[in-house]
Structure 1
Amino acid sequence: MNAMFPARNVAPDYRLVETLNLGVGPLVPALGAARDRLCAELVARGATPILCESWPDMQALNARHRNSWFPLLPTPSSAPAFWLGLVDCEGEVVATHAAVLLDCAASSFGARLADLSALHDPGSAPADEWAFVASEAAHDTRGAVAWIVAGWTRPDWRGAGLFHRLGELVRLVALARWNPKWVVGLVDPETVPVWSGRGGGRRRLEERPGILYHQSGVGRLPLHLMRWGRPAVLLDLEIIAHMSTV
Structure 2
Amino acid sequence: MWKLLDVSRPRAARRIVIAATLAAVAVGTTPGVAQAYASSASGTVNTAGTALSVRSGPGATYDSWRTVADGATVTLLCQTTGQSVTGTYGTTTTWDFLSNGGMVSDAYVYTGSDGQVVDSCVYVGDEPSSKTNPRSANGAIDWAFQRNGSTSYENLCLAFVAQAYGWGGSGWNTAEIGGDWESSHGYLKTSGIPPRGALVWYHNSVGSGHVAISLGEGKVIGTSVGGGVGVAGYLDHDSYRGWSVAYLPAAW
- Tell me the TM-score normalised to structure 2 length: 0.28
- Tell me the TM-score normalised to structure 1 length: 0.29
Give the structure with the larger helix fraction: 1
